[in-house]
Structure 1
């Protein structure tokens, strides 16, 4: 961490000296004046002025600063922009909801994205906020099976149209998941993963829960590759139970692969505390293993997925009436379950207890991530309100965690998680000289989520300003039109 701070200081010095050359007094491009600046890394929590030059923070000072533009943010919290490690919506429609929720960097790491080079190119100069993705292991596996070339082409076309191809991939990949693959196909899968890492992939997305029939030996080989390259694995475990969590932990321990367990709340269910204890025990032994939660008692996924294969009621401890069809908002019956499962589509799964969520949010070192879904009017509210919900409900109303602790889970911890694979993340998640000017400014007394399971998506309330790379994308609670400052976040193997 000290090395990263030194690097940021060097960058700041270069930027500052260039700006100050020939000037006795620095005039910043933008000054955020009089806000409550909160930096989770240094634990700064004080009234300060923030000077920005270009896309970087150049000064954090208790003294007045001169600026070409000065914005009075007194009474508001000035925080690092929120970093979401787990999203599925890939376009600006979803990013609109994310920026109103304070997110400045949104990454698809659980599933990953297919055809990465083309996808990154398709987002260039079009993104409201920063974007990036991991390598999609299910896609790279599927691509290694030569008989599915037409299906792979269809997936690529959907991706380049800006669509989330998860549904398409689920419909095509799942039937092939139980097929044994040859040694040559396994070697090709690993070669595909390496090639996608060279296209910028931020680690490897391993949603084994959607391919639970895949041979454990295949999974182990992927972990071995991750250990060799020190590329983190982001995994939805094979099943929502302790044994599946232990499988992921064991593979990471044996191979040295960095591991991030996604949404441990919906994977552990009632065993949330022991699961968090296992992660903490691994960390105490020096293992690079982390996890995340989202602040809702319901999950969401495709009804056609393996999650709902025979025995799902017993595995999840729920029935048909606990499933909510996103297209209409209706609760399912056995008849509608059978009909919609053949049709394919997204459901919301009401399966967790409030105390499980509070346990996850309160746990030290556990990050906040949304698992935000592709846009639909009645999509899971986490798509729009995850971060405001934590700050409004769990910080202000229920005192489950304090404000600095919550901000750390949304900013610094995600940045640190990614620094090894994506070096540019060392400049994010902080309000310090030399850091990227990705900044979220909100009213701690009014911030709250407004999206609901019944009413659908809505912008969060209380986020007043969002800057991405030094540019306002949200100002006085309103989007700045025609502004696309979002930049790609690449993995370190990019060629």
Structure 2
């Protein structure tokens, strides 16, 4: 047999094989098919018209041909993207999750502050969540309950927090004075033991919001980083102050101890020096250190008036004045008189303190993740609570062209998934449109997507998100919440026992 004849026979064989294989694939009936959308996978760089077959909660097929399904949704003209992953939320109930899913989010994690009673909290959400949930270990809580002279009041404090529904602000208001004190060696050891125990209950790394407790001694903070380095446990930090020295502090701690580090909302932590801060993070990463950061696409921050950042001299430190503070409860701008009155009850305010060009430069910077810092529900809560991801796609991609669509999707899906893979292994299957990946999928109209929440009008669902699937189950369909489905699952850290 000649070489030419052999090639011809092999060609015919493989041609028949692929025809039969294609026919076999086309005969499969998937649980769900998203037909004919623009499929974007940020890892493989796929950007093409494809049909996506979903089976048993996972992506089973991506094809240029039409697929059979028990339910077929025509998504032509829309973008089929991985579900958005938010590393930074504070609202963790279904009330906030509904706003999040209307913003295309399929995984929303409380990693800056964390959750007390980690294991019990995870158990309380099981089978009840609209989208995936998870949290870091709450360092302030673990530290407080390790401090013998305060131990009797810890649970009473937590009950107070739950009763007035102010969460973080109430904790800080009551507990902050104790954080200026030195821990005994035994208390420091017990704090680290408590952190380790909560990691073993599933916590995703360690939440270190030192910015709310800036009186914490540097040596104590270093000990937490040291433990994180020894365990390879990711630290999520709100820096001590909104300045470059505080950024240098956490980067130095991470480099010396080997702790993986994620700096939250670097826009509000660096203000006009955002380029300097981003350059430091980038330089550290290029030198092989496991350091990342995030930001949200708004020019205002939000917190309680009793926080340390409003101690004397705050106007000079933040570059703002009373009229730049907006009361969440009423929407009014403050004066010196109303500032003092509302500070006594630790009211939450929106702080108009950043410039648009700082935010745009941060969004465009390579490797910077998008995270919302979404607040607990209030009608006039910061609009990032409801609109962060749609704002990126509508304002910064379509309108202002600060970055392209594929890069934006990468910053909202693949980059956060990869940031967590080392601490939460199940994230390897999220943030991607690939065969074998979890069917956490967001489908949106790139021509219409935009945020609708505003500082003046309050929270509103975003526009242009048409379908959201979590584990292959619709939680949003034709732009409307699907009632009585709760497919969200807990995302656990690697230390869970």
Q: TM-score range by the shorter chain?
A: over 0.9
- 1:454 is matched with 456
Q: Which runs of 5+ in 1 are unaligned?
A: 1-21
2:312 to 292, 304, 310: 310
Q: Which stretch of structure 1 is more off in the superposition, 293-302 or 151-160? A: 151-160
Per-residue deviation, residues 64-105 of structure 1 (Å, max 9, x unmatched): 111111111111100000000000001000001000000000
- 2:67 is matched with 65
Q: CA deviation at 1:302?
A: 1.0
Written as runs of structure 1 = structure 2, the 5 A alignment for 1:434-453 is 434-453=436-455
- Indicate yes or no: 2:206 matched with 1:207: no
CA 1:335/1:24 → structure 2, altered by over 3 Å: closer, same or farther? closer
- 2:98 is matched with 96
- 1:355 is matched with 357
- Matched residues, number: 474
Written as runs of structure 1 = structure 2, the 5 A alignment for 1:17-166 is 25-157=27-159, 165-166=167-168
Per-residue deviation, residues 246-274 of structure 1 (Å, max 9, x unmatched): 00000000000000010000001000011
Written as runs of structure 1 = structure 2, the 5 A alignment for 1:206-225 is 206-225=208-227
- 2:392 is matched with 390
Computing the radius of gyration from Cα coordinates, the structure with the larger value is: 2
Aligned to 1:324, what secondary structure does the other structure show?
A: strand
Q: CA deviation at 1:167?
A: 2.5
Per-residue deviation, residues 398-430 of structure 1 (Å, max 9, x unmatched): 000000000000000000000000000000000
Distance of 2:440 and 2:175 partners within structure 1: 37
Written as runs of structure 1 = structure 2, the 5 A alignment for 1:453-472 is 453-472=455-474
Q: CA deviation at 1:331?
A: 0.7
Distance of 1:187 and 1:240 partners within structure 2: 29
Instruction: Please tell me whether the aligned partners of residues 90 and 163 of structure 1 are also in contact (alpha carbons under 8 angstroms).
Output: no
CA 1:402/1:156 → structure 2, altered by over 3 Å: closer, same or farther? same
1:231 to 226, 230, 233: 233
- Indicate yes or no: 2:486 matched with 1:484: yes
Distance of 1:174 and 1:162 partners within structure 2: 18
Q: CA deviation at 1:27?
A: 1.1
- 1:5 is matched with none
Instruction: Please tell me whether the aligned partners of residues 443 and 466 of structure 2 are also in contact (alpha carbons under 8 angstroms).
Output: yes
Distance of 1:195 and 1:178 partners within structure 2: 25
Distance of 2:245 and 2:383 partners within structure 1: 29
Distance of 2:326 and 2:277 partners within structure 1: 27
- 1:328 is matched with 330
Instruction: Please tell me whether the aligned partners of residues 292 and 367 of structure 1 are also in contact (alpha carbons under 8 angstroms).
Output: yes
Instruction: Please tell me whether the aligned partners of residues 33 and 72 of structure 2 are also in contact (alpha carbons under 8 angstroms).
Output: yes
Distance of 1:84 and 1:120 partners within structure 2: 17
Distance of 2:272 and 2:25 partners within structure 1: 62
Distance of 1:431 and 1:171 partners within structure 2: 44
Instruction: Please tell me whether the aligned partners of residues 226 and 233 of structure 1 are also in contact (alpha carbons under 8 angstroms).
Output: yes
Distance of 2:83 and 2:164 partners within structure 1: 25
- 2:17 is matched with none
TM-score (structure 1 length as normaliser): 0.94
Aligned to 1:225, what secondary structure does the other structure show?
A: helix
CA 1:58/1:378 → structure 2, altered by over 3 Å: closer, same or farther? same
Written as runs of structure 1 = structure 2, the 5 A alignment for 1:283-432 is 283-432=285-434
Aligned to 2:361, what secondary structure does the other structure show?
A: helix
Per-residue deviation, residues 125-171 of structure 1 (Å, max 9, x unmatched): 11000000000111111111123234321354468889562123112
Distance of 1:274 and 1:160 partners within structure 2: 39
CA 1:162/1:256 → structure 2, altered by over 3 Å: closer, same or farther? farther
Distance of 1:35 and 1:162 partners within structure 2: 46
Q: Which stretch of structure 1 is more off in the superposition, 220-229 or 339-348? A: 339-348
Q: Which runs of 5+ in 2 are unaligned?
A: 1-23
* Cα RMSD after superposing both structures: 1.5
TM-score (structure 2 length as normaliser): 0.93
CA 1:158/1:33 → structure 2, altered by over 3 Å: closer, same or farther? farther
Per-residue deviation, residues 417-463 of structure 1 (Å, max 9, x unmatched): 00000000000000000000000000000000000000010000000
CA 1:96/1:251 → structure 2, altered by over 3 Å: closer, same or farther? same
Distance of 1:397 and 1:193 partners within structure 2: 45
2:266 to 264, 267, 276: 264
CA 1:299/1:161 → structure 2, altered by over 3 Å: closer, same or farther? same
Instruction: Please tell me whether the aligned partners of residues 303 and 341 of structure 1 are also in contact (alpha carbons under 8 angstroms).
Output: yes
Q: Which stretch of structure 1 is more off in the superposition, 24-33 or 475-484? A: 24-33
